Amino acid sequence: MRQNRTVVADFHVSLVQYKACHGNTVWFLRQVTVVMRVVMLMMHVAGCRLLHRYTRHSTRLRWLQTMQGLVRIPVSQIRCLDCGAVFTVLPSFALRYQHYEVHLAQALLEYNLIMNVSYRFQVSMLANLNPDCPPKSPMVLWRLMRWLGTAIPVTVFLLKLGLNPPTLFLEDEKFVSEAGRQTYIAALFHQDIIWWVAYLYSTDEPTMTRALLEYKRTVQESLPEYTAEAATVDAHAATKAALRNTFVDIDLQECILHAQRQVAADLATYQRQHPAVDPAFTAEISTAAWSALSVVNDNYSYPSTLITLSHSGDGVWGFPPR
């Protein structure tokens, strides 16, 4: 319910003008009532006649980090005179759940996402804006970045831009450790676009399935007929199962690069276990395997999922028959 009881109002004034005009209750309620009449998601108490008669309920001061430093702005609540529902009125220049002015947050996000400026350097920038109360850690910027990803998921953002979600994509997950917490970042890619990113505490089949089903649900809210046709994955069995649970008829292709690396790792392991084998011979086998995985000749293409190397025990390695 709290999610539907906060209204963001554009007062068409600057931050300084807002602070000066906020004490004028008549002006304030007139501006807010205009917004409340057109915003249909504001949940009143059941049975309310929606006559949009309000009074100021309470006011508190909130810290806001701005381009000019740290300031305190008044944030008021209003109460419906018909049903008693209480709403928080947030000025449009302040971010919800974040102590940043919109223009400052936009600049910080652009520095990071476009100019690749580090969190640590951005913290020093914020400290210069407010030397009396500087931020203590780069984590303040990391939390801002996570807030953005939660408030506007990348899938929703790309759909609102009018892009078509991919039916063919790459799937991958990476192990990460941030602020002492271990998680996985799972993602779906198509060409240079990341279409879905999720933080997971496990990459087992149920967890991956729930995450991928959420991606599918998000896309199908805009495109009900959407489904995926094929995906390129690594050898992670749980991910393969989760993709099939989410998209029943999907075709899965194992990444050739992962297969190439696995062949090299297996040959290196065999070399350590059998030191009598000529290193030049295993290097030759590695080169042959790499070529077989990479090159399609006129007669046969070795699928990455079918390539195996067999050792006869007498020093002879070979590929399966064509």
Please report, for the chain, how many H helices and E strands are present, in that order.
Answer: 10, 11
* Predicted local confidence at residue 258, as pLDDT: 65
4: pLDDT confidence band, cut at 50, 70 and 90?
A: low
CA atoms within 13 A on the CB side of 124: 4
Distance from the Cα of residue 312 to its chain's centroid: 49
The pLDDT tens digits for 148-160 are 777 778 898 889 8
Between CA 2 and CA 25 the distance in angstroms is 24
Contact between residue 44 and residue 75 where contact means Cβ atoms under 8 Å apart:
no
Per-residue confidence (pLDDT) for residue 32, from 0 to 100 = 92
Express each pLDDT in 258-316 by its tens digit. 666 677 777 788 888 888 888 887 777 777 776 765 554 334 343 333 333 433 333 33
User: Residues 8-20: pLDDT tens digits?
Assistant: 888 988 888 998 8
Residue 141's pLDDT band, with cuts at 50, 70 and 90, is confident
Task: Locate 292 and state its tokens.
Answer: 């077989």
Does residue 286 or residue 5 have the better pLDDT? 5
Name the residue among 89, 88, 60 with its Cα closest to residue 73.
60
Residue-wise pLDDT tens digits, 180-216:
777 888 899 898 888 998 888 888 999 999 999 999 9
Query: Average pLDDT in the 41-48 region?
Result: 81
Q: Which residues contact 137 (CB under 8 A, 6 or more apart)?
A: 123
- Length, in residues, of the chain: 322
Instruction: Report pLDDT for 286.
Output: 74
Give the integer Cα–Cα distance in Å for 64 and 66: 6
Tell me what the mean pLDDT of segment 231-235 comes to. Answer: 84
